[in-house]
Amino acid sequence: MPDGEAGKRWAQALAEWAIPEPILARAPESPWGFPPEIFATNARDEDTPSIRRALEALPDDGSGSVLDVGVGTGAGSLPLAAKASHITGVDESPNMLETFARAADEAGVAHDEIQGSWPEIAGRTKPADVVVCNHVLYNVAELGAFALALTARATKRVVAESTDVHPQMSLNRLWKHFHGLERPQGPTVQDAINVLKEAGIGARIEHWHRERAQRTADRQLIVAFTRRRLCLPAECDPEIDRLLADTSVFRPSAMSTIWWDAP
Ligand SMILES: C[S@@+](CC[C@H](N)C(=O)[O-])C[C@H]1O[C@@H](n2cnc3c(N)ncnc32)[C@H](O)[C@@H]1O
């Protein structure tokens, strides 16, 4: 299905986050990607609106199945293990899948992993009671098709958690400081809802605030991750450290749980 106006606006707003070529050309390492070390050390939330919406759609006898798209280290699906007998993790990153597999073993839940990019990989996945997709939407230019593929794999419900604003916005002041560059302000979660609506998905949304003191990742890892995102050399670490101040910078606290039931 070709994207409509809201879909095109969403894709355009995301394209504006492209890093200017001269900065990219001087980058010591690729600014993209998600290091599992950072995500694995996050304290795992056990009671959020996203977890509650997913749990209420799983059968009470513990036989439920979950498909987690963009699983990362499993933060969106492992808290569902009490009601899920099986979790499938999908991710582009083999490192993330390895970390997820280890964490799922520790949680004692049956699991499998499928490496690839959603929705292209969707045909290799089996339907699940609940499909979760947390903190991935801002990575996806063709959001309508992406979300419809989530619906097609859910027998009961889709739950997608997202920050209210683009997660990279927290680094805008550092981009200005180091590169003199103004970064975009959008898109927002409301823009995502508009794209879903245009795709025929009547999603519901619940806004909430994540607590700040949940990130436990080593400070050095956070500084190195920031340096990489900002295309800077390691010499800038002390200045990044000083400017970052608060390690919650990567975890904007305004969050949304978006969910819709399978047709
Ligand atoms: C910000 S992390 C979130 C991980 C996890 N869902 C969480 O909430 O902690 C985003 C993850 O989605 C993966 N990802 C991004 N776009 C994807 C796509 N189109 N298909 C599959 N995985 C994707 C990334 O590799 C990364 O592991």
Pairing of β 154-163 and β 128-132: parallel
Determine the Cα–Cα distance for residues 61 and 57; give it in Å rounded to an integer. 12
* pLDDT at residue 117, as a whole number: 98
**Is 222 part of any domain?**
no
- Quick one: DSSP state of residue 165? B
* pLDDT at residue 3, as a whole number: 72
Q: Name the domain count of the chain.
A: 1
CA of 48 to the centre of ligand 1 (A): 19
CA of 33 to the centre of ligand 1 (A): 9
**Is 223 part of any domain?**
no
CA of 215 to the centre of ligand 1 (A): 18
Which of 42, 136, 255, 258 has the most ligand 1 atoms within 8 A of CB, as the residue to mutate? 136
Confidence band, pLDDT 50/70/90 cuts, at residue 26: very high
**Is 81 part of any domain?**
yes
* pLDDT at residue 213, as a whole number: 47
Q: Which atom of ligand 1 is nearest to the CA of 133?
A: 6
Give me the chain's average pLDDT, please.
Answer: 92
| Across 85-101, average pLDDT | 96
- Report the CATH number at residue 100: 3.40.50.150
CA of 21 to the centre of ligand 1 (A): 25
**Is 47 part of any domain?**
yes
**Is 135 part of any domain?**
yes
Residue spans of beta strands (DSSP E) within 92-186: 110-115, 128-132, 154-163
Domain membership of residue 87 as a residue range: 5-18+43-167+184-216+250-261
CA of 139 to the centre of ligand 1 (A): 8
Q: Which protein residues touch ligand 1 with a CB less than 6 Å away? A: 34, 39, 70-72, 75-76, 90-93, 96, 117-118, 134-136, 139-140
Helix (H) and strand (E) counts in the chain: 10, 7
CA of 91 to the centre of ligand 1 (A): 6
Determine the Cα–Cα distance for residues 235 and 244; give it in Å rounded to an integer. 15
257, with CB counted inside 10 A (0-12, 13-18, 19+), is: buried
Residue 73 above 60 pLDDT?
Answer: yes
Q: Which atom of ligand 1 is nearest to the CA of 167?
A: 1
Residue 42 above 80 pLDDT?
Answer: no
**Is 173 part of any domain?**
no
**Is 90 part of any domain?**
yes
Is the bond into 119 cis (omega within 30 degrees of 0)? yes
**Is 231 part of any domain?**
no
Which of 38, 44, 48, 91 has the most ligand 1 atoms within 8 A of CB, as the residue to mutate? 91
Percent of the chain's residues with pLDDT above 90: 80
**Which residue has a Cα nearest atom 4 of ligand 1?**
72
CA of 137 to the centre of ligand 1 (A): 9
Q: Which atom of ligand 1 is nearest to the CA of 161?
A: 8
Confidence band, pLDDT 50/70/90 cuts, at residue 214: very low
